[in-house]
Amino acid sequence: MTAPHGKTFQTPSLIGCEITGIGAFAPETILTNDDLSQLVDTSDEWIQTRTGIKQRHVVSGDQTVAELAIKAAQDALACSGIPGDEIDLVIAASSTPDAIYPGTSCQVQHAIGATHAAGFDMALACTGFMSAMITARQFIQTGAARNAMVVASDIHSRFVDWSDRSTCILFGDAAGAAVLSASDKDSFLSYEMRLDGSKGHELRMGTYLSNCPLVTQRTPAQEVVYLKMNGKEVFKFAVGVVPHSIERALEKAGLKPGDIDHYVLHQANKRIMDAMAERLDVDADRMVMNLDRYGNTSAASIPLALKEASQEGRILPGQKLVLCGFGAGLAWTTAIIDWSVVDQRSASAKQIQKQTAECLEAH
């Protein structure tokens, strides 16, 4: 490898990074399409036909992003069988945090007892979990961390305009998490991580509001805080850019679309996933979908779908997966995964461990 100043250096050998645990949590309260039709001029028929969504989970009472994140992280830890104090990196992806600081990562670190961990927050909307996972992998590959907790939690019900029928019907609240560990194996066969800020205005949430006395231009908070989306443009971006990203990542891994057992894509719209299946020429049943029950849960959508599909026995160790997050930024991250998670709480995991121990003893 040649550095920019002309010196050559040896590429260091990197440590393998395995996904060892997956977890998720969705709040109990369910909002159906019929419930929404009491709020805005919409119908169950329109929402199902245009998006594939039937219902979504939303927070109630005093539930917070950190609380959802902690529950998902605890689930992923239990799945991995790794104690909290062996986690040395926590990355939290959220674009709807409870506060600008302290970060969600700090609250998760404290709650799971990761007493020696480093960490930080990442705000990359629906791409957040994927980008956080690829970042955590770099820490593991270089030996900077042995075990990492990647957690994604979003509460969009706080930030949608409940009078805007084009956006309020789309989103749900949830959290998802994964544990990544140093290993002889590497779960990541390839990845692509990209941004296109030129289209950032198509999907934005937040404020230009300033309390600085020197700033003269002030915008009414209501106008800017709520999520605003040009749905058609974001749809075009998703079906245009994302399949190319998947094709490039597959090529890097030396695989073809047909070699992939399951596609776990950001759960934004069933029509987007159907279009991707068609474009990649794979059966629609290879697309893992749970947005009918959860809606678009932003950063949480991929780990939530992974957790459910693996719990149902649909995604199995040894299978190859395409994971792809995309959305505001605009941003997208694709990874080709050799799935390896065996839930340490399950009877079969204990059986596999017992057989391995007996086998090792016999030799």
Give the Cα separation of 30 and 41 in Å (integer): 19
168 is known as an active-site residue: no
SS3 label, residue 24: strand
Contacts of residue 110, Cβ cutoff 8 Å, sequence gap at least 6: none
Residue 177 binds ligand UT7 (CB under 6 A): no
With CB under 6 A as the contact rule, which of the stretches 46-54, 75-83, 97-105, 192-200 interacts with ligand UT7? 46-54
Site for ligand UT7 in 304-363 (CB under 6 A): 327
- In the shown chain, the binding pattern of residues 263 to 282 toward ligand UT7, with x for contact by CB under 6 A and - for none, equals -----xx--x----------
With CB under 6 A as the contact rule, which of the stretches 99-107, 213-221, 227-235, 332-340 interacts with ligand UT7? 227-235
Distance (Å) of CA 29 to CA 32, 59, 155, 200: 10, 6, 13, 32
Distance (Å) of CA 242 to CA 20, 61, 257, 272: 27, 37, 13, 10
CB burial string 309-324: b at 16+ within 10 A, e below: bbeeeebeeeebbbbb
211 is known as an active-site residue: no
Q: Of the two residues 156 and 286, which places its CB atom closer to ligand UT7 in the complex?
A: 156
Site for ligand UT7 in 88-147 (CB under 6 A): 126
In eight-state DSSP terms, residue 2 is: B
Residue 231 binds ligand UT7 (CB under 6 A): yes
Residue 201 binds ligand UT7 (CB under 6 A): no
Active-site residue, from 17, 33, 79, 126: 126
With CB under 6 A as the contact rule, which of the stretches 62-70, 184-192, 234-242, 251-259 interacts with ligand UT7? 234-242
Structure tokens at 340: 């390896």
| Binding stretches for ligand UT7 (CB under 6 A) | 42, 46-47, 50-51, 126, 165-166, 169, 231-232, 234-235, 238, 268-269, 272, 296, 327
